[in-house]
Structure 1
Amino acid sequence: MPDSERYAALDLGSNSFHLLLAEFRDQRMVRLHTDRAMVRLAEGLDAERNLDPAIAERALTSLHRFRPALTELPADHIRVVGTNTLRAAANADGFLEAAEGILGAPIEIISGIEEARLIYSGVMAAADGPPRLRCVVDIGGGSTELVRGREIPHQLQSLYMGCVSFSKRFFADGLITENTVNHFNRARRAARAELQELQHLAQHAEVVGCSGTVKSVARVLNDGELTEIRRKDLDRLAEQVAGAKHVADLNLPNLDEERRPVFAAGLAILHAIFCELDIQSMQVSPYAIREGIVHDLAGRLHGGDRRADTVASLMHDGRVDAAQARRVGDSALDLLLQLQPLAGVKDQQRLRWAAQLHEIGLALSHNNSRKLGAYMIEQADLAGFAKTEQENIAHLVRNQRGRIKPPREHYGFHPNPDRLLCLRLACIVHRDRTDRALSALQLTAEEDGYQLRIEREWLEKNPAIEELLQQEVEHWRSHERKLRFEAV
């Protein structure tokens, strides 16, 4: 890695948006600039999971402050991620398109498990001493992540409870106690119910908390310092908050006024975690998801792309024929570079990964392998991948041969016909699992489609392929872009 490399990570969370600008100096990450906008996006989700336009507009307005920090960086040094609320929102497409226009950078919606992995990576970046078993806790605005691991995570959990969503659910209008109902106790019980069967995560492990709720509680308990949270102190604080009538009545030292509206809900979740997982003390990490994103970006550019490891693991677990995956991948990329000599890294990566996984469904079924393979890729928690990346790869796997099924396009998912054609042709050329050079094939793009020219002598040696190519021409007749085939 060069002596100095600069990266930007922007986390579009359910409670707040956070920016981190950092660089690596002699392989050590140095934080250069941080910024935060408290937007409470989760407040805008209604019962049908639609995002309220007024809150969406408030969030979009806040994004303008982050744009200057992103403009000077290369595109592959920036990663913007959306978490729980943007995962859940049924009408997120319009917001995401507008936000991308403001930021000038794409937004990746990540799964809860991918969020947990990035959080753990960030916390480990600040950890010192020899590797040891740790349990990392992050209470966000819409979800709570818990991870158990050593140098790498072993178990990851993402629970649908957060300080904003619980505030909306249990502390309407800021009320903590209403008549005889104690909302703090109700919120704590609900959190403990979500934690059932997860008690093992903290056993024999050092517990580390990170992000807003944990830091806020630590400051209240420790004279403004981010030091250890002890169970006996947390018990007293929980009892004090439960005895209040309204969040406005919370006279707590070092409580940030921006944090006040969601403090009771976050504390109820944190206390439930301590009680249910039998935690006696929690260390507090200054790092979290944003630092994890920066380390992930640096890894992608310097040979440590977690996504490549994930694909390799899937191939191993699915008993994929690695030789066939290589054949198809090499030929598909050769064809893509004929069409697009300057094809970007992202296009090439997605095509290669689709080729490596195009037979993953054979482990479950021969007749339905394409459908099952695509479903596995689309729905699985794949470390390193954004949900839209999985959808794009799944589309290629689903349509590797046969009738081309038109997809429902949405934000971040824009099927690329060039990649699709190249994968389909590569599958035809190597249908019999035989190595074949493509020097006799010439694929060009035309105004309304594609022209495939193949030397007649090559076709005479491979008559079955000629028939499959004629069928392929028929499949593309119903597509917006047509395929023409000519023997020369």
Structure 2
Amino acid sequence: MTDVAAANAVPRFAAITLGSNSFNMLVAQSSASEPEVIAKFKQKVRLAQSINPDGNLSPEGMQRGLNCLAWFAKKLESEAVERTAVKVYATAALRQIDNAREFQLKAQSILGLPLEIISGEQEAAIIFQGMTATTPGSGRRLVIDIGGASTEFIVGQEQQMECLLSLDIGCVAANRQLSSDAVVNENSWLLLQQWIADQVGDQLGPINGAAFDHVVGASGIVQSLMEIARNRKLPERIDTQLLQQVKQECLGQPLLKPAITGLQEERKPTLVSGIAILSYLFDALAIDSMTRSGGALREGVLYQAQQLLHATSTNKKP
């Protein structure tokens, strides 16, 4: 970009989120004070499945993550995003591993940016911010975001959060309870349900005690089920009937590659575990149905990046 073009260009900002399953980057510019997304980048890095029994991220998993960040760094250059207008957050997988500091330092060197490993409650708060900014609705809402290694719960009304909870249950973590070549049957289903129950314990008390009018899902498994429903010309919502129907279709199929009509290939490895977690939560929280959020963590981070750009621009003014 020439100096003249750079001077006339609308400033861009970016949000990078390092999830347990996928790394995402959104590039945006402000339009009527709102972020206007102009580019999206994503890779299925699957960090959570690369955590060794000793609690460390494997060398192969670390390299996959760093390679993705090197790609993101090149995209920041080609999209003309100033490093002072980028937010980078990492979530559950990096919260849980013992060699997180090693990854963090290498990532910061590649990106030329600070990488913050956020807590579960911080993640939940940002998810709620991303949901309220992108999802019309009123009343008190329960937001559930099932990731690769953790699940976040938020109860709130409008922009006011009333309850935040993060649990160490996720689709990739659930898959690790079975062998990678397992075939789904009633016994393996019960093993998944028991693991989820053991992980959750009595921790859902605060959510059970909070009244809510609507339930909103913000995760890959929710998107997967919405894709299936859309393909079958069903209402785009999740209920116990849809969960039971897809579960039955998965029986007798490989855990990581169920052949389900209407489902993208990249979503197959987490379908069964995601349904198992959602089914458990529907029962435990007496949920009848769930709709899909228009945004979650990455959209919440994008708003923070926009605020960072605004603060930087204000400080530069004479």
Matched residues in 2 for 1:10 and 1:249: separation? Answer: 28
* 1:81-140 per-position Cα deviation (integer Å, ceiling 9, x unaligned): 1111111111122222222222222211100100010011001011224x4200111111
Aligned residues: 297
Q: Give 5+ residue unaligned stretches, structure 1.
A: 304-344, 346-488
Q: Does 1:42 align with 2:48?
A: yes
Q: Does 1:173 align with 2:158?
A: no
Percent identity, please: 32
Could you say if the C-alpha distance between residues 174 and 271 of structure 1 is closer, same or farther in structure 2, counting changes exceeding 3 Å? farther
Give the match for residue 15 of structure 1.
21
Equivalent residue for 1:188, pick from 180, 193, 218: 193
Q: After superposition, where does 1:60-139 map in structure 2 within 5 Å?
A: 60-71=66-77, 72-129=80-137, 131-139=138-146
* 1:394-420 per-position Cα deviation (integer Å, ceiling 9, x unaligned): xxxxxxxxxxxxxxxxxxxxxxxxxxx
**Any conservation in 2 of the 1:187–1:268 contact (CA below 8 Å)?**
yes
**Any conservation in 1 of the 2:142–2:212 contact (CA below 8 Å)?**
no
Could you say if the C-alpha distance between residues 192 and 253 of structure 1 is closer, same or farther in structure 2, counting changes exceeding 3 Å? same
SS in 1 for 2:81: coil
Could you say if the C-alpha distance between residues 139 and 237 of structure 1 is closer, same or farther in structure 2, counting changes exceeding 3 Å? same
Matched residues in 2 for 1:248 and 1:23: separation? Answer: 38
* 1:166-208 per-position Cα deviation (integer Å, ceiling 9, x unaligned): 111x232141447xx7222221233244163445267432111
Give the match for residue 59 of structure 1.
65
Matched residues in 1 for 2:115 and 2:47: separation? Answer: 16
Matched residues in 1 for 2:291 and 2:103: separation? Answer: 37
**Any conservation in 2 of the 1:6–1:24 contact (CA below 8 Å)?**
yes
More displaced stretch, 142-151 vs 248-257? 248-257
**Any conservation in 2 of the 1:171–1:265 contact (CA below 8 Å)?**
no
After TM superposition, give the deviation of residue 220 of structure 1 in Å. 1.7
Q: 1:8 is aligned with what amino acid?
A: A
* 1:258-295 per-position Cα deviation (integer Å, ceiling 9, x unaligned): 22222211221112111211111111013110110111
Matched residues in 2 for 1:273 and 1:290: separation? Answer: 24
**Any conservation in 2 of the 1:213–1:263 contact (CA below 8 Å)?**
yes
**Any conservation in 2 of the 1:147–1:201 contact (CA below 8 Å)?**
no
Matched residues in 2 for 1:159 and 1:254: separation? Answer: 30
Larger Rg: 1
Q: Does 1:293 align with 2:301?
A: yes
After TM superposition, give the deviation of residue 15 of structure 1 in Å. 0.5
**Any conservation in 2 of the 1:202–1:277 contact (CA below 8 Å)?**
no
TM-score normalised according to structure 1 size? 0.57
Matched residues in 2 for 1:195 and 1:238: separation? Answer: 23
Which structure's relative contact order is higher, taking Cα pairs within 8 Å and 6+ residues apart? 2
Q: 2:60 is aligned with what amino acid?
A: A
After TM superposition, give the deviation of residue 250 of structure 1 in Å. 2.0
Matched residues in 2 for 1:82 and 1:220: separation? Answer: 29
Give the match for residue 232 of structure 1.
241
Equivalent residue for 2:212, pick from 201, 204, 218: 204
* 1:274-328 per-position Cα deviation (integer Å, ceiling 9, x unaligned): 121111111101311011011123345657xxxxxxxxxxxxxxxxxxxxxxxxx
Provide the aligned C-alpha RMSD in A: 2.4
Could you say if the C-alpha distance between residues 174 and 276 of structure 1 is closer, same or farther in structure 2, counting changes exceeding 3 Å? farther
SS in 2 for 1:20: strand
Q: 2:97 is aligned with what amino acid?
A: A
Matched residues in 1 for 2:179 and 2:210: separation? Answer: 32
Matched residues in 1 for 2:190 and 2:98: separation? Answer: 31
* 1:185-244 per-position Cα deviation (integer Å, ceiling 9, x unaligned): 221233244163445267432111112121112212331889321221112222332x22
Matched residues in 2 for 1:201 and 1:215: separation? Answer: 27
Matched residues in 1 for 2:266 and 2:210: separation? Answer: 30
Equivalent residue for 2:270, pick from 256, 262, 268: 262
Could you say if the C-alpha distance between residues 73 and 36 of structure 1 is closer, same or farther in structure 2, counting changes exceeding 3 Å? same
